[in-house]
Amino acid sequence: MQPMADGSDWLSTLLERASGSPRSLTLGELESLLLLEGRDDLDMLYAAAHALKVRCCGQGVAVRGLVEAGNVCAKDCFYCGIRKSNAAVERYSLSADEIVAAAEEAKRLDYASLVIQSGEIESEAHTRFIEDVLRRLAPLDLGITLSLGEQTEDVYARWREAGATRYLLRIETSDPELYAALHPAECSWKRRVECLRALRRTGYQVGTGVMCALPGQTMRSLARDVMFYGEMDVDMIGMGPYIPHPDTPLAAKSPDMAAADRLELGLKMIAVSRLYLHDVNIAAATALQALADDGRERGVLAGANVLMPNVTDVRWRKAYRLYANKPCLNENASLCRHCLDRRLDAIGEHLIYGERGDSRHYFARS
């Protein structure tokens, strides 16, 4: 339960302790921070998290060019717009040439890192395809993050050997019961966790993340999610507010929640995760901008240190909509870069060009 608001002394003390040492908060204290509502208290939370981001990760925001390589997916997750049962989606898969061209555009824009993301596919042909792409990307000397879902440890090792250095596999929730409510029976929470462990064994900078504002989710559950990040010792976090997609089963079960409330919860999760984990990379997800025009900038001011502007050809962006109201569908990569430069300059931040922006936590552990 949130402490009585009889002044900010309790909050100042808590934030000072959290900023002084990673993983120093209890589950109840994490929950208390997530329950904050007053503007003054929230501003204190975000200011502390942003100051810690600057101290632990440096001034500026790391940048990754995002390639949405395809929306063909073998999974049928109840919340996702590209779930295999959604017949309204125009399916596509980029060729190796198209992915390389997008990576070359990222390089031209002086983005030193790339994220390749797609629906989840497990097959030998897909494994070989990604290996080929990674080897073709090697001359560009980019940091490569993959977000291609659950695979065997052997596949992860093959992609690591071919040149990938980071992998993002979102758990979506650390609560097995809530996970089961979000997925069909063939989806296994235990396997997802084991995949995260396999990624660690194969040498990746490992990332995960959750959705917040899910139906049936509590603040205690979200506090446990933050502790889960610490227990898994992740290097990167990619998370954001749940935004219902109309062509999914979960949309009908989702309570009517104001966009501002979803956004605020997403910002609180960024700030609390930063205060708990200190030196990990945390992305300000595009979903934040879907809820407010300045959502990503507010994410940076709440402690995020990574942005992922889209470098996918605009003709495919409407087909890769995991949630409703996805922004920047018609904005090419060059326009996106100029827009981000202007937006970050307005809040006293800047994109870091020409640097990979690897997780400091990864190298501190190594």
Model confidence pLDDT, tens digit, residues 132-151: 999 999 999 999 999 999 99
CB 267 within 8 A of CB 348: no
Q: What span, in angstroms and rounded, lies between the C-alpha atoms of 48 and 12?
A: 9
pLDDT of 4 reads: 40
CA dihedral 267, 270, 273, 278 (to 10 degrees): -130
Whether the pLDDT of residue 3 is over 80: the answer is: no
Q: Could you tell me the domains of the chain?
A: 29-356+360-364 (3.20.20.70)
Upper half-sphere CA count for residue 132 (Cβ side, 13 Å): 11
Task: Tell me the two tokens of residue 1.
Answer: 């339960």
Edge to edge, the sheet with strand 65-70 lists 65-70, 113-118, 143-147, 166-168, 205-208, 236-237, 281-282
Q: What percent of the chain has pLDDT over 90?
A: 91
DSSP state of 68: E
Confidence tier at 229 by pLDDT (50, 70, 90): very high
Q: How far apart are CA 239 and CA 268, in angstroms?
A: 11
Q: Are 178 and 217 contacting, i.e. CB atoms less than 8 angstroms apart? A: yes
Residue 95 has pLDDT above 60, yes or no: yes
Q: Is it the case that residue 284 has pLDDT exceeding 80?
A: yes
Give me the residue label for tokens 């090419």.
332
End-to-end CA distance of the chain: 38
Looking at residue 300, what DSSP letter applies?
H
Query: pLDDT tens-digit profile of 233-282?
Result: 999 999 999 999 999 999 998 878 999 999 999 999 999 999 999 999 99
pLDDT band at 293 (very low <50, low <70, confident <90, very high): very high
pLDDT of 115: 98
- Region of 352 (left: φ > 0; alpha: ψ -120 to 50; beta: rest) is beta
pLDDT at residue 6 in the model: 47
Q: Are 148 and 117 in contact (CB under 8 A)?
A: yes
pTM: 0.96
What is the average pLDDT value for the chain, to the nearest integer? 95
pLDDT above 80 (res 223): yes
pLDDT beyond 70 at 215: yes
Residue type, 32: S
- pLDDT > 70 in the chain, percent: 98
Give the residues across from 115 on adjacent strands. 66, 145
Q: Compute and round to an integer the Cα radius of gyration of the chain.
A: 19
Looking at the predicted structure, is the pLDDT value of residue 117 above 60?
yes
User: What DSSP string runs through 254-288?
Assistant: -----HHHHHHHHHHHHHHHHHHHSSSEEB--HHH
Length, in residues, of the chain = 366
pLDDT at 366: 66
Provide the token pair at 240: 């954001």
80/83 Cα distance (integer angstroms): 5
E strands, the chain, in order: 61-63, 65-70, 113-118, 143-147, 166-168, 205-208, 211-212, 236-237, 240-241, 281-282, 306-307, 351-352
Longest dimension (CA), the chain: 62
How many C-beta neighbours within 10 Å does residue 40 have?
11
**Residue 105 and residue 211: Cα distance in Å, rounded?**
30
The answer, yes or no, to whether residue 1 has pLDDT greater than 70, is: no
pLDDT, tens digit (0-9, with 9 covering 90-100), for 38-69: 999 999 999 999 999 999 999 999 999 999 99
Whole-angstrom distance, CA of residue 53 vs CA of residue 304:
7
pLDDT for the residue numbered 326: 85
